[in-house]
C-alpha cells in the first residue's frame, strides 16, 4: 500500500498556503490528540510530522522535489523536532500540557533528607538556609528592557534551526536542533543593554531560611512538601514545590518495623534460667530501660515484648508501638564446670526480687518482658509497614510549635 503524502495527511491541496496548512493542522490536532481521542496517537504523530515539514518553507521545497524519502525524509525525525514543540507553538502548551489537556501533576524539586531514628522518635525542627533561583527583581525576569529585544538572525526567531549531517555517500539527513545563539528563545539582546544585575540570565540567587518539621513517628521514605519554596523559571507563573524525602540513617541498637522497634540484648546462662531485672538497653530518648523477667526459662533466639515502648504513632504521638528484644544467651566458656557451692547460691542470688528502680537518684522505670515465640514475633511485625503520607507546610506553619494529638488507640499489651 502506497504511503500517503503529507498533503493528504493534512487534507490540503499541494498549492495550499501556509495559513491553510496551519488551520488544517490545528483542526486535525484537536481531533486526534491522545487526551481527546485515545485511539488517535498514531494519527496525531503522522499529522505532526507532516506539519513539521510543510510548515517550513525550506523543508517543504525539498519535500516537493524529493518526496518523503529525500534528504528531509524519515531520518530527520530520529533526533529532530519534538512533537511537544510543534504542539506548543500552535496551542501554547505541550502535547500533554496540564493547562490545556489532562490533569498533569504538580511540578516539584526533590531532595533527600537524612534523619536519625532519634529525631523520628522525639520529633525535631530543622532550620536551614535555601539558595534558590528566582526571576531577577531588577529586570523582572526579562534580562533587559523589553524594547531592545531583537530577532535572532541565526534561527530567524524560531529558537531552532535545521542541521544537516552526512548519513552516507550522496545521502544527507536533517534534524532540528536548539539554537545556541538565543538559547531557544528566538530573541537576542545586545550585550550593552543586558540587565546590570543578572547580566541577561534573567534570574538571581535568593537565600531564604526555612524550618522543616520532623513530627514524632514519621517514617523512612515519607515526604515533606514546602509549597512554593523551589526554583522559579522566569517564564513560569509559580515556583516549584520543594520536596524533602526522609532517609533514616542506620541505628547501632534499634531497627524499625512500622510502629515497632527491635533490639538485641545478651544475657548470661544464669539469667536465662533464673530470670533477671536490669537495664538491657538505653532508649532513643536517652532513658535506661530496665527489664524484668522471671518465670519460664528463656531459650536462645526468644523475643521479649515490652509494651508501649516502640515508635510513637504519627497521628497520636502518645500512643506507641511495642519494643521487641531478641535475646541471645552467653554460655560459659568451653571446659567450664559449675562449682557445687555456686550452684546452690545461684537461685537465691540471681532470682529477681520485686521489680523496683535502682537505689540511686536516676529516674528509671521497670518494664516487664513477655516472652514471644519466633512465629508470634514475625506475625506481629510482618504487616506493620511504615506510612508513606506526604506532609505539606505553608509559610504560616514553619515556626508553629508541635501539637500533640491524643487518639483513642490502645496498644496490644499494657505496661505492668
State if pTM tops 0.75.
Answer: no
Angle between helices 41-54 and 57-66 (to 10 degrees): 100
Q: Which three cell numbers stand for residue 281?
A: 538497653
pLDDT band at 199 (very low <50, low <70, confident <90, very high): confident
Q: How far apart are CA 169 and CA 318, in angstroms?
A: 77
Torsion angle of the four alpha carbons 368, 372, 377, 381, in this order, in degrees rounded to the nearest 10: -30
166: how many CB neighbours lie within 10 A of its CB? Answer: 9
Q: Which three cell numbers stand for residue 243?
A: 520536596
Q: Which three cell numbers stand for residue 14?
A: 499541494
Q: Which three cell numbers stand for residue 32?
A: 486526534
User: Chain-wide mean pLDDT for the chain?
Assistant: 75
Are the beta carbons of 80 and 86 closer than 8 angstroms? no
Please, how many CA atoms are within 13 Å of residue 364, restricted to the half-sphere of its CB?
21
Angle between helices 18-32 and 83-91 (to 10 degrees): 110
> What are the tens digits of pLDDT across the range 248-278?
999 999 999 999 999 999 998 888 888 899 9
Q: Is the pLDDT of residue 402 over 70?
A: no
Q: What is the pLDDT of residue 75?
A: 38
DSSP 194: B
Sign of the Cα pseudo-torsion (121, 122, 128, 130, in order): positive
Q: How far apart are CA 25 and CA 47, in angstroms?
A: 7
Share of the chain above pLDDT 90, in %: 22
Are the beta carbons of 276 and 286 closer than 8 angstroms? no
Residue of higher predicted confidence among 412 and 5: 5
Q: What is the pLDDT of residue 360?
A: 55
Q: How far apart are CA 268 and CA 338, in angstroms?
A: 14
Residue 122's region, left for phi above 0, alpha for psi from -120 to 50, else beta, is alpha
Q: What is the pLDDT of residue 217?
A: 93
pLDDT band at 91 (very low <50, low <70, confident <90, very high): very low
Q: How far apart are CA 321 and CA 256, in angstroms?
A: 10
Q: Environment class of residue 154 by beta-carbon count within 10 Å: exposed (0-12), middle (13-18) or buried (19+)?
A: middle
> What are the tens digits of pLDDT across the range 340-383?
766 665 554 444 555 454 555 555 666 767 777 777 777 777 75
For the residues of 49-96, what is the DSSP string, one character each? HHHHHHTSHHHHHHHHHH-TTSTTSGGGGTSS--HHHHHHHHHSS-TT
Are the beta carbons of 295 and 355 closer than 8 angstroms? no
Amino acid at each position: 500500500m502506497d504511503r500517503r503524502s503529507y498533503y493528504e495527511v493534512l487534507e490540503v491541496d499541494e498549492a495550499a498556503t501556509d495559513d491553510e496548512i496551519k488551520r488544517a493542522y490545528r483542526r486535525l490536532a484537536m481531533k486526534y490528540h491522545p487526551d481527546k481521542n485515545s485511539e488517535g496517537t498514531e494519527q496525531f504523530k503522522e499529522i505532526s510530522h507532516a506539519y513539521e515539514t510543510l510548515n517550513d518553507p525550506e523543508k517543504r521545497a525539498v519535500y516537493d522535489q524529493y518526496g518523503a524519502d529525500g534528504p528531509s525524509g524519515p531520518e530527520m525525525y530520529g533526533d529532530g523536532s519534538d512533537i511537544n514543540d510543534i504542539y506548543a507553538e500552535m496551542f501554547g502548551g505541550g502535547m500533554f500540557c496540564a493547562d490545556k489537556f489532562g490533569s498533569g501533576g504538580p511540578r516539584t524539586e526533590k531532595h533527600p533528607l537524612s534523619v536519625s531514628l532519634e529525631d523520628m522518635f522525639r520529633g525535631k525542627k530543622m532550620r536551614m538556609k535555601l539558595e534558590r533561583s528566582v526571576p531577577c527583581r531588577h529586570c523582572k525576569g526579562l534580562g533587559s528592557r523589553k524594547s531592545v529585544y531583537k530577532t535572532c538572525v541565526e534561527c530567524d526567531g524560531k529558537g531552532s534551526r535545521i542541521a544537516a549531517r552526512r548519513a552516507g555517500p550522496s545521502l544527507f539527513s536533517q534534524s532540528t536542533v536548539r539554537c545556541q545563539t538565543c538559547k531557544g528563545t528566538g530573541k537576542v539582546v545586545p550585550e550593552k543593554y543586558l540587565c546590570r544585575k543578572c547580566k541577561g540570565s534573567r534570574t538571581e540567587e535568593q537565600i531564604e531560611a526555612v524550618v522543616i518539621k520532623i513530627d514524632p513517628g514519621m517514617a523512612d521514605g515519607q515526604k515533606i512538601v514546602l509549597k512554593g519554596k523551589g526554583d522559579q523559571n522566569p517564564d513560569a507563573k509559580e515556583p516549584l514545590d520543594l520536596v524533602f524525602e526522609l532517609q533514616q540513617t542506620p541505628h547501632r541498637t534499634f531497627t524499625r518495623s512500622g510502629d515497632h522497634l527491635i533490639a538485641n540484648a545478651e544475657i548470661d546462662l544464669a539469667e536465662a534460667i533464673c530470670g533477671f531485672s536490669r537495664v538491657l538497653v538505653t532508649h532513643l530518648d536517652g532513658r535506661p530501660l530496665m527489664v524484668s523477667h522471671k518465670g519460664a526459662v528463656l531459650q536462645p533466639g526468644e523475643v521479649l515484648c515490652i509494651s508501649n515502648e516502640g515508635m510513637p504513632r504519627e497521628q497520636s504521638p502518645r500512643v506507641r508501638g511495642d519494643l521487641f528484644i531478641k535475646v541471645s544467651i552467653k554460655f560459659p566458656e568451653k571446659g567450664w564446670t559449675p562449682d557445687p557451692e555456686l550452684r546452690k547460691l545461684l537461685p537465691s542470688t540471681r532470682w529477681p526480687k520485686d521489680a523496683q528502680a535502682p537505689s540511686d537518684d536516676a529516674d528509671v522505670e521497670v518494664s516487664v518482658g513477655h516472652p514471644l515465640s519466633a512465629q508470634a514475633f514475625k506475625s506481629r511485625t510482618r504487616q506493620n509497614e511504615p506510612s508513606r503520607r506526604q506532609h505539606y507546610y505553608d509559610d504560616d506553619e514553619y515556626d508553629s510549635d508541635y501539637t500533640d494529638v491524643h487518639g483513642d488507640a490502645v496498644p496490644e499489651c499494657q505496661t505492668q
